[in-house]
Amino acid sequence: MMRYFFALLVLLFWSCTDADPKSYTFLFESNAEVGYTRPKASVFMEEQANGYLDLTLKMEGTQAGEEYVVRVYPGNETQWDTVALYQWPNTLAGDTTLEAALTLDKPFDVVREMEGLFVVHDPNKPLQLTNDSTFMIKAPFGKDQ
């Protein structure tokens, strides 16, 4: 009888610890003005029961009908690799907001503690990785944010 009680107690503890998924929200603001607004972005990161991460991108202050390229590069604001680690699907903005989702098969702590660079490329300029004036938002992503 005691064995069943102990097994039930372990199962209850295990199910309670799994019930609280890890989550984190990154917040970013643009240096560039689009129309009369300064675009803002947030990335909500949540660990799923299967160990995958859902990253939900939300942007406000975007231009309606423009396609935005949003990526995370390895590195920091002064030195980064030009091959993106993660990229949200190129997304057309609605009126002045945009939302896109990305699922990763990476552990929460690996992504949260990485040294990365979050970049929103300006849809009105050519895509260039070495010219800061082509970025609407360029900010640390991961441990430095």
Domain ranges of the chain: 21-142
What average pLDDT does the segment 88-107 reach? 80
Q: Please, are residues 69 and 127 in contact by the beta-carbon 8 Å criterion?
A: yes
What average pLDDT does the segment 89-118 reach? 83
* Mean of pLDDT over the chain: 78
What average pLDDT does the segment 98-105 reach? 87
- The whole-number pLDDT of residue 11 equals 34
Share of the chain above pLDDT 90, in %: 8
- Per-residue pLDDT at 3 exceeds 70: no
**Which of 57, 80, 65, 63 has the alpha carbon at shortest distance from 132?**
80
- The whole-number pLDDT of residue 94 equals 66
- The whole-number pLDDT of residue 44 equals 93
What is the C-alpha separation between 136 and 29, in angstroms, rounded?
9
- The whole-number pLDDT of residue 5 equals 35
What is the C-alpha separation between 8 and 130, in angstroms, rounded?
58
- Per-residue pLDDT at 19 exceeds 60: no
Contacts (Cβ under 8 Å, ≥6 apart) of 128: 134
Which CATH class, in words, describes the domain spanning 21-142? Answer: mainly beta
Higher pLDDT, 67 or 46: 46
What is the C-alpha separation between 135 and 34, in angstroms, rounded?
12
Say what the pTM is.
0.77
33-48: pLDDT as tens digits: 655 567 889 999 999 8
